[in-house]
Structure formats: C-alpha cells, structure tokens
Structure 1
Amino acid sequence: MNQTPRSRTVLRCSLLLVSLGAVAIACGEAGPDPMTTKPFDAAKQVTFNTPRGGAKVDPDKPLEVTVKRDEGRIMDVSVVDGTGHHLAGELSADGVRWRSTGALSAGAKYTARVSTEDAEGSPGTRTLTFATSAAKRELSVEFGPEEGEYGVGQPIIAELSAPVEGKAARAAVERGLKVDLKPGAEGAWHWLNDEVLHYRPKEFWPAGAKVTVSNNLQGVKIADKLYGGAPGKPLKMTIGDRMEAITDASSHWMTVLRNGEVINTIPITTGKPGFSTRNGIKVVLGQEYFVRMRGSSVGIGGSEAYNLPVYYATRVTWSGEYVHAAPWSLSDHGSRNVSHGCTGMSTSNAAWFYETFKEGDIVEVINSIGEDMDPFGNGYGDWNLDWTEWRDGSALVADTRPDGSSAADSARLRPRV
C-alpha cells in the first residue's frame, strides 16, 4: 500500500506509543490535575482581621484577608451580606492580601468565601460568617407629603434627622432613597440644605402615575460613624389629572386646563402695583373654606391695612398668596389688578376652583410686574428651576461650577411665614 509522508508519520507515532506504553502509563502516575482536585480546607492558610470568639466587627474598619507569602496566594474573595449585596475590595498584586474598599453595613450579617492556592498550586477554600456591630448614630428619614392623591406638580420631600455634608455622604443618601414610578420618567433629588432634599421628575409627573418612595439606607454607612436607620413605612402617592391654572396678570384672565385641554376661563384680579403677584409656577399647598386675612400678619398696615373674611381659599405660598373669592372687587375682575397679591375672583368661580383643584396641582402666573417665585422657602417653586439647575443640586449627577460651588450650596430652606 502506498503511503503519503503524512500517513507514514502517523504510523510511526502509533508504533512509538505502543512500544513506550509502559513509559506513558508511568508518566500518567505523576498526579491528578490540580484543577480537578477537591479544594483543601484553608483555615490554617487564611487569616481574617475579625475579632476572635465571634465578637462583632466594627463596620468603620475595613475587612482584611491575608495569607503568608510562602504559603501560597489568594485567588478570589467574595463577601456578601444577608440581602445579597457584595462588598467591594482589592487584591494585592502578589495575592497575599485582600482589603475591602466598600463600606461595611452596620448591624449586618456577612458570609466571606475565600479561594486560595498553596505553594504547589493546589486549590484551597475557606468560609467565614461574621456580624457587624450596630450603629451608634443612625440617620432616619421622614417623607412627605402624606399618602394620598396629588397633582402633577407635587414634589417629594425627604427630611433627615441629622445634617449630611459632602458629596460622598449625600450620594450615599440619594442611592438609598428609592423612587419607583409607574409609568417611569426621568427624575432626580435636589438638596435644599444639609437636612432637606426634594425629588421631582424632569417634567411634571405623568397623570395617573403611581409613586412609591422607600428608604433602603438601613445599616448603610453615610459618614464617619453615621449609618442609615430603620426604613420606616414607604410613601405611596397617586397622581391625578394634569390640572393647570394659567393666571395672566396683564389680561386679568385665568385659563384652566385639564390634561392640556381648556375647561374654563375666569375673569380675575391680581396684585396691584407695590403688591404685584409673583410670576412663576406655584403648587397648591392646601385649601381652606374660610380664612380671615389680616394685612398685619404679612406686614401690611396704614392705609393699606385690611381685615377680611375670605371664602374658598386655595393656598399657593406659605406667605399668604391664595386663589380666593373676592366679591368686594367684582367690578375689577377681568379689567384691573387691585389685590394685595392674591388672585381674586367671584364667589361662584372661587367655589368651582376650590372643588376642582387639589394639593399638587399647578397655578402659574405670567405677565406680572412682580418678582419671580422663589424656588424654595415660600411653597413649592421647584418647577421654576430648569432641569440642568435641578440636577446641579444632586450629589449623584451634579455638575460643579468653575468656582467649585453648585446650586445646592446656595439653596436654603427658609422658615414658613
């Protein structure tokens, strides 16, 4: 039989293997592949910096895993808490030390699994369970408003039990405050000061949306020796129709829209010169069927003093700006601005407005010669910041200005008047 050079070579190799069979068998007895060997117990090889006797670990200190240089090296470390969160860490280049870079949670249970290799390359493993001590200082969070149905302009408020300073600490807070919105929409937190932050979407809340706000900070390290406390009850809100009242102080008319469609136009009067109504977007804060309005309560006296019984009053600022019935100026509605800053209308129109609008609905004033609505401190003027300015107040997405400041540095929550 004729053989090609390749076939002759194969034949010679086969014969060689047969003749050296004993040698081949002997080579196979050198030992099993280390990759298929059952890992040995690395309890004597691996050392943790945790206290002896099961004492709880200080969460303010990093976790360390080490092996002696002549006893092999660490191949992998996995540290997971009871909720499935992994603790971040770094392995040294020589493989003899692993150190956590993420913060341990306070009052948590962890399982650490370490894979090693000895000096001969055989695999080892060790598992350790440990618990961290409870926090001595805890940060609690109170959400607002109360559970219920609100308009598309209602911001979410988070009030903290202790001041939180610094971008890293604030970012930790924001990551733990979860806002679940269905249908979804882009949104962000904005810090008013060290203890108060607001959340709003880029645009108004979608009509009919369901919002759930929860606190997932329990045990999470916020700052030095400050950890998140108990989560408390989640806040649940339902968003109603998109109700907007566009108050034109120049034409003296209000246009009311529901979900973008005009449903009413109302003749009005707004603030006269010297008391001009603030321009901008305001959010309904509450409603009072009857309220006695006194000029003295807002610093108005002398010839401008007043003391009036007012019905169907819908509040839009803490300082006393309302949409309300003003039957004493009926002849001026639709033609002149004669109020001290409120938006006045007939009693029947005010009753309709009172029954149609609710907390969180939008009242926007345009074409007034008054000042602009303050974004914070006199109601909810959050929507008067554009999206870039709003995001600038978040520690997670803020863009720092050239001087190193941000919008959050200058925004302060002023007391209600």
Structure 2
Amino acid sequence: MSHSVRIRPVPFCALVLVSLALGATASCGGSSNPLADKPYDATDQVDLAGAGDGRKADPSKPLEVTATGGDRITDVTATDAAGRYVKGELDADGSRWHSTGALAAGAHYTVRVSTEDADGAQGRRTIGFDTNPADRLLRVAFGPQSGTYGVGQPITAELSEPVQDPAARAVVERTLQVRSRPAVEGAWHWVDNRTLHYRPPDYWPAHATIDVSATLDGIKVGGGLYGGASKPVRLTTGDRVEAVTDAAGHYMSVRKNGQEIRSIPVTTGKPGYATRNGVKVILGRESFVRMRGTSIGIAEGSSDSYDLPVYWATRVTWSGEYVHAAPWSEGSQGADNVSHGCTGMSTGNAKWFFDNVRVGDIVKVVGSTGATMTPFDNGFGDWNMPWRQWREGSALAAGKREGTSPADTARLRPRM
C-alpha cells in the first residue's frame, strides 16, 4: 500500500543559514556534487601494461590496467574497432583491472578508464592501441559460390588449417553465421579437421534467401592460430524439385513443389553395378561426356567394358554416376536394369530433365539392391544422415543438448 508524503517548502533564508552554519559556500553557478564536475585527466593515475604510446600489444596476453597514483579504478571498457567488448574483471579495491576474454590479432582497441580520488572526484583516461598481427591465420572459404540452387544444396566451409581440438572447433563454429529468410533450424557438422557442412533437418524452403558469413577475423583460435578474413556468400533457392527413381519399378517421378510434373521410364544399375540408394544432390550438368568403363575400374577389353559418347548428363556423384541419355537401352527402360550404375533414359527425356533441374536439386533412389549413398565422400549425401546424428557432429553439440546459449549461434535467424 502506498502513502503520499507531503513535502513542506523550506524558506530560502533557512537554507542560507544552514549553509553558513556548516561553513559551506552557497552559489547558484557551482555544485558540491563531484559527479557533476568535469572529470579530471587521469593519465598519471592509471597505466595500461604493454600497450599504448605507440606500442603494439601481444594478443595472446591479457590486458592489465593498474591504478598508480593512489586513486581507485571504478570502471574499464575495452572495445575493438567493430565495437566488440573485451570481458574483464576489476579487483575489489579498485587497484587493478584485467581482461578475461581473448584479444584479436591485428586489431585496434580503445580502452576507457574511469577513476575516483579520495575526495570522490571523477577522472577519465582513454588509451588507444593496436595488437600485433598473427603469425598464422585460419581462413574459411564458404561454398557454393553466391547464386541460385536447389533446396538440397548443403553449405560448406573449408578451413585453411586443420582444427582438431574440441575447444578450438567450438571457437571457430561460433563465428560461422548462417541466416535464412524464412528462418529454419540448422547446424554445422564437422566432416573432418578442415571441412564443415551445414544443413537444416529437412531440405531448405523453396525460394529462400540464405546469407553465410564469418566473424572469425582476428579471433584467437588456439595454439598461436588466429582467424583471418573471409568472403560472405548469399544463396537463394528455387522451386523444390525432387526426382525420385524407383529402381525396382524402373520409373522416375519428377516432382515440383510436391506435384508430379513428369514420369519417366528408366533403367538403373544391373546386378554387380546396382545404383546407390538414398538422396543425392545434383553436382553439375554436362551436355556431353565421354564415358569409359576404365573410370569405374572395368578392365579394358572385358565383356563389361565400354567407351561411349553420352549426352545430357546430370552428375550426382564425383565417381561418375549420372542421369543421362541412353538411346542404346531404350528397349529396357521401364522394364529392366541394364546400366553400370547410372540412371539411363531416352534422349528426349534426358534433355527435358537436363533443362528442368539445377545444381542442388534432389535425386533420390529407392528400391535398388545397391548400398546407400554415403554422406560425404562421393558428393553430397548429407541428407542420408539422420538429423540427431548430424547435430552430434557439431562442436557445440553439448551446449545444444543442455539448451545453453551457444546453441543459438548454430541456428538460422531471419534477417532484420
């Protein structure tokens, strides 16, 4: 319950008498409040160890601000040119402040120190300094290059140096930013010590905009390694195009945004050369390819050897699996599997397929006796890994399971 308090005005003469009785001086133009006075120059009262006055600081060492003239430090802020704050701690007696967060290499910093003397007067000192450049830089190259892709296209990050330590991986991963409009959840997965892939639980939304960037520049990774500059990329997705091949039924269904737009009789891999099951992502399109059996290990001169001119070839693995025109097998298309692993169709259907798909679109094979497409070593089989397993490949996986804040850095956010 609140109560109103009535304040009685005090006569001005009474205020003057009280001031005189206390030996104070009253003035309309001054103030007895130290906080209202202009701060004094505290240059002689504080010292920044190892930096300032033209000296460059070692980024591997913490900052240390000390009170040298008998005053006490009340506050310290240290920021780089991008406005990022350096974390730090102030001793209880105000004699010393030291940084607890890492400095960036090759960066400019501004340190603002506030002090207080024995009478409560406030002092200020501002110190600017640079840090030494790094001897070793970790750079990241994002892929694919900016452009429009299918909804199955993963994002890749290739590092210039291997990173194996889990703590160092977490530092790197927190700086890799992926923002999508519309926003969907996603996560990075460490393929090896130098390669990361990023994807959502399901395919990207159709007609999305995806911005990929890094804030790694100057960040201490560990072991004398610091982050370098990187080039951002912007991707957009087209329609959701999926080609689903039923190897047992010998037909491919091409779907656009969930609706079938063409059914194509096909032939896939014969016994001993069964086509891989699972989701593959289109890697490229080649209007003409010369295909040789020797490229997949078939000895020249054997009964299975071949050397053929192939048209309208859409690549789905680096080892040479395509969707392509196969006029020599039209009698088997829709009825039997006679290829060496590729998906063959008539020249007309292959040309139509070639013209209606793009890099990043999805080619899924079901009903084959072949093994499932591997996630990483022969193209983009990323979608064949269950989402739970995918997330465990993140260096921030522990934080995600516990629901801590670092997990947020691996999520897609809408652009503002």
* Category of TM-score, reference length = shorter chain: 0.7 to 0.9
Aligned to 1:178: 177
- Distance in 1 between the 2:21 and 2:374 partners? 88
- Distance in 2 between the 1:149 and 1:59 partners? 40
Query: Any conservation in 1 of the 2:52–2:127 contact (CA below 8 Å)?
Result: no
Worse-matched range after superposition: 207-216 or 354-363: 207-216
CA apart distance, 1:259: 0.9
What secondary structure, in the 3-state scheme, does the structure 1 residue paired with 2:126 have? strand
Worse-matched range after superposition: 176-185 or 288-297: 176-185
- Distance in 2 between the 1:110 and 1:379 partners? 44
Worse-matched range after superposition: 312-321 or 120-129: 120-129
Write the mapping of 1:257-276 to structure 2, written as runs, cut at 5 A.
Answer: 257-276=255-274
Q: Does 1:33 align with 2:22?
A: no
- Distance in 1 between the 2:52 and 2:366 partners? 69
Counterpart residue type for residue 254 of structure 1: M
Question: 1:59–1:274: structure 2 CA closer, same or farther, 3 Å change rule?
Answer: same
The correspondence for 2:238, drawn from 233, 237, 240, is 240
Question: 1:206–1:221: structure 2 CA closer, same or farther, 3 Å change rule?
Answer: same
What secondary structure, in the 3-state scheme, does the structure 2 residue paired with 1:192 have? strand
Aligned to 1:139: 138
Question: 1:271–1:126: structure 2 CA closer, same or farther, 3 Å change rule?
Answer: same
Deviations 1:4-48 (A, max 9, x none): xxxxxx99xx89x98997455433729923333433322222121
Question: 1:270–1:395: structure 2 CA closer, same or farther, 3 Å change rule?
Answer: same
Write the mapping of 1:16-415 to structure 2, written as runs, cut at 5 A.
Answer: 22-23=17-18, 25-27=20-22, 29=24, 32-51=32-51, 53-67=53-67, 71-232=70-231, 234-301=232-299, 302-398=302-398
Counterpart residue type for residue 94 of structure 1: D
Deviations 1:37-84 (A, max 9, x none): 43332222212112464111111111111125x924322111111111
CA apart distance, 1:211: 2.5
Question: 1:360–1:18: structure 2 CA closer, same or farther, 3 Å change rule?
Answer: closer
- Distance in 2 between the 1:163 and 1:19 partners? 78
- Distance in 2 between the 1:52 and 1:177 partners? 32
Question: 1:349–1:20: structure 2 CA closer, same or farther, 3 Å change rule?
Answer: closer
CA apart distance, 1:192: 1.1
Deviations 1:157-185 (A, max 9, x none): 22121112223322332233333322222
Aligned length: 388
Query: Any conservation in 1 of the 2:51–2:129 contact (CA below 8 Å)?
Result: no
Counterpart residue type for residue 22 of structure 2: C
- Distance in 2 between the 1:177 and 1:52 partners? 32
Query: Any conservation in 1 of the 2:52–2:128 contact (CA below 8 Å)?
Result: no
CA apart distance, 1:87: 0.9
What secondary structure, in the 3-state scheme, does the structure 2 residue paired with 1:271 have? coil
- Distance in 1 between the 2:398 and 2:325 partners? 43
CA apart distance, 1:267: 1.2
CA apart distance, 1:298: 1.0
Question: 1:223–1:389: structure 2 CA closer, same or farther, 3 Å change rule?
Answer: same
What secondary structure, in the 3-state scheme, does the structure 2 residue paired with 1:371 have? coil
- Distance in 2 between the 1:347 and 1:21 partners? 105
- Distance in 2 between the 1:362 and 1:19 partners? 88
Question: 1:21–1:295: structure 2 CA closer, same or farther, 3 Å change rule?
Answer: closer
TM-score by length of 2: 0.85
- Distance in 2 between the 1:372 and 1:398 partners? 29
Query: Any conservation in 1 of the 2:282–2:359 contact (CA below 8 Å)?
Result: yes
Query: Any conservation in 2 of the 1:60–1:224 contact (CA below 8 Å)?
Result: no
- Distance in 1 between the 2:199 and 2:191 partners? 13
* Unaligned ranges ≥5, structure 2: 1-6, 26-30, 402-416
Root-mean-square deviation (CA, aligned residues, Å) is 2.6
* Unaligned ranges ≥5, structure 1: 1-9, 402-417
- Distance in 2 between the 1:236 and 1:323 partners? 28
Which contiguous aligned blocks of 4+ residues in structure 1 show a shift greater than 6 angstroms?
17-21
Question: 1:219–1:97: structure 2 CA closer, same or farther, 3 Å change rule?
Answer: same
CA apart distance, 1:96: 2.0
Question: 1:133–1:221: structure 2 CA closer, same or farther, 3 Å change rule?
Answer: same
Question: 1:28–1:223: structure 2 CA closer, same or farther, 3 Å change rule?
Answer: farther
